[in-house]
Chain A
Amino acid sequence: MVQKGITKENVLNYQTRWEILLALYDGKERSAYYITNRPSINLSISPVVDHLRILEEAGLVEGRDTSTSKMRRRHYKITEKGKNALYEYNKGIAEKIKVNPEMIDHMMKFLGSN
């Protein structure tokens, strides 16, 4: 289910959208099918298309209709705004770490072998 109440600030809080931007970060045009097949995105094509639509509305990706007579299709590409959004999002976390170094301890819980 796609998140409601999406704003510019929280659009990347949803992990799938963040992963989609990363998948598109190399600047190449990709189809929703390609994105669905990324191991980090464990979703069927329908919600991925929904997320792409949200990202497109936010201006973070741009879509291009590449339909053929036999198949409806759309390809997506990350925009500069999208790259900046990804940077800003991660920068925000880096700032939080700086202000609150205990976060690193918390993160290390994900690294633990116990």
Chain B
Amino acid sequence: MWWKVIGGDDDFFVIEIDTFRGEKVRVPFTSAPDSNIIMIAKIGGKFQGFYDPYLHKQATELGIWDAVLSHEALHCNQEFIAPYYPGIDLIPANIGIQEKYLVPNMIEDVVINHTIWLWEQSPFRCPKRFREQNLVEKIIRYYKLAPSFPSHNVGIDALQKWFLQAHMTALKGVQNIKSKDKHEKGIDIYVEDEKDKDISSAIISNIFRLLNGRATSLYEGAKHIIAFLEPKIPGYKSPLYETRYKGKVIPQFVPMDKSIISSIYHLLDIYFARTYNMDLHDMRKRVSQLIPKKITRGKKERDKIQQSGEEIHIDVKRDPGKKKLIFDLSLKPIKGNAASYFSVSSHEKGITVMDSEIEVDD
């Protein structure tokens, strides 16, 4: 286990976390009634955790409190540089309806976090100065600390579902604004009905096809971790890594490339268009109408937009008293030497942060 509780009571406890860097970090968790949050933040240089006892109770009843804490513990790595795990960070927000999304097995959390971690290290997302050195070795070391529960090979599948959900949440947030303007009934944020499930299955299988052959699994008994390989050389085994890791297939940290991400977004856009019963072009156009600046691939224009530092914030508030979603969708340029997208980030107040990238065509 990479974390343990070292003392406290119902209102306050301290967890000790083994980080990727092999350091031990202690984080106090304080109960914050009615705050609707479970989170670790860095305040004044101090890692501090907060949790709503109501969510704690629910998570405990669902048998996932350890999984939630495991997830929060992972936030303490890398100084929060890669903290937004699409999907994972959505979990606590709708914890009451999460049984079908949440895998109450910590190993899955590790698999997905690590997979997304690798993805977050992508040069398309993460400026070089923030990238972790010797990431693979650190993950392997960390992986050995993971709890050994019987597991099954759902990592990639779960990742795709969450990836889908994350993107969908962002777009539905935008769509919701549109509906609100027209005084229409608000759109449910999550896909739960049979119709959507059917469509998402088809999309997921396509995404799987895109990813297939570009991911590998490490097995050790019942444990496994899935990581992406160099997309251009599917399944390539580095002699260097083979020697170092005794012939195991080791992911050579190069995450998904941009074209794959674009393809996934394209598929997702098709999915949304079908969900909203809209023409694909119309849907993209309507989304882009909400975004005054056109995002193009041109470097000059991109730089110009980034330099302007323009930010667009959209707020959607929905029944905060009933622990419903409060959406704060913001669109802002990523300031980084490698980032070429805008970031659409959305968080449900308090608990979750979902950060996704969206490319908008004309």
Q: How many residues of A contact B (CB 8 A)?
A: 31
Cross-chain contact B35 with A23 (CB below 8 angstroms): no
The yes or no answer to A98 lying at the interface (CB within 8 A) is yes
B34 within 8 Å of A by Cβ?
A: yes
**Alpha-carbon gap, A95 to B347, bound state (A):** 21
Q: Which residues of the partner chain A approach B318 to less than 8 Å between Cβ atoms?
A: none
Instruction: Report which residue of B7, B75, B120 has the largest number of chain A beta carbons within 10 angstroms of its beta carbon.
Output: B7
Asked if A97 and B32 make an inter-chain contact with CB atoms under 8 angstroms apart, the answer reads yes
Q: Is B303 interfacial (CB-CB < 8 Å)? A: no
**Bound CA–CA A25/B5 (angstroms):** 11
Let me know if B26 and A114 touch, CB within 8 A: no
Which A residues are in CB contact (< 8 Å) with B82?
Answer: 113
Interface residues as binary, B328-346 with A (CB distance below 8 Å gives 1, 0 otherwise): 1000111110010001000
- In the complex the two chains form, is B332's CB within 8 Å of A114's CB? yes
Could you say which residues of chain B place their CB within 8 Å of the CB of A90?
12, 28, 30, 48
Q: Does B285 contact A (CB under 8 A)?
A: no
Interface 9-mer from A1-9, A54-62, A103-111: A103-111
Known: A23-B26, A86-B28, A94-B35. A113 touches B83 (CB 8 A): yes
Which A residues contact B (CB, under 8 angstroms)? Answer: 15, 18-19, 22-23, 25-27, 38-40, 83, 86-87, 90-91, 93-95, 97-98, 101, 104-105, 107-108, 110-114
**CB within 8 A of B336: which of A18, A23, A114?**
A114
A33 CA / B225 CA spacing, docked (Å): 38
Judge whether A111 and B84 touch: CB under 8 Å: yes
Residue B90, interface by CB 8 Å: no
User: How many positions in chain B have a CB within 8 Å of any CB in the partner chain?
Assistant: 50
In B50-108, the 8 Å CB interface with A consists of: 50, 75, 80-84
Judging by beta carbons under 8 Å apart, are A107 and B42 in contact?
yes
In the bound complex, how far is the Cα of B50 from the Cα of A104, in angstroms? 11
How distant is the Cα of A22 from the Cα of B161 in the complex, in angstroms? 38
Kindly report which residue of chain A lies nearest to residue B11, judged by CB atoms: A87
In the bound complex, residues from chain A placing their C-beta under 8 Å from that of B80 are: 110-111
In angstroms, Cα B343 to Cα A60, docked, is: 45
Measured in the bound complex, the distance between the Cα atoms of B50 and A107 in whole Å is 12
**Nearest CB in chain B: distance from A92 CB, A:** 9
A94 CB contacts on chain B under 8 angstroms = 30-32, 35, 50
Q: Let me know if B32 and A107 touch, CB within 8 A.
A: no
Q: A97-B35, A104-B349, A111-B83 are known contacts. Are A87 and B30 too (CB-CB below 8 A)? A: yes
- B12–A97 CB distance below 8 A: no
- Closest Cβ neighbor of B32 among chain A residues: A94
User: Within 8 Å CB of A101, what residues of B?
Assistant: 349-350
Given contacts A25-B7, A39-B25, A40-B25, contact A104 B37 (CB under 8 A): yes
- Chain A CB count within 10 A is highest, among B50, B126, B130, for B50
Interface residues of B in 1-42 (CB under 8 A from A): 6-7, 11-12, 14, 21, 23-26, 28, 30-35, 37, 39, 41-42
- Beyond the given A25-B28, A83-B7, A97-B37, could you list 18 further A-B residue pairs with CB under 8 A, ordered by the A residue number? A15-B44, A22-B14, A26-B14, A40-B25, A86-B28, A90-B48, A93-B50, A94-B32, A94-B50, A95-B32, A98-B32, A104-B350, A107-B39, A107-B41, A108-B347, A110-B41, A112-B83, A113-B81
**Docked complex Cα distance between A77 and B333 (Å):** 49
Asked if B45 is an interface residue, CB under 8 A from chain A, the answer is yes
Which residues does chain A contribute within 8 Å of B269, judged by CB atoms? none
Q: Name the A residues within 8 Å of B7 (CB-CB).
A: 25-27, 83
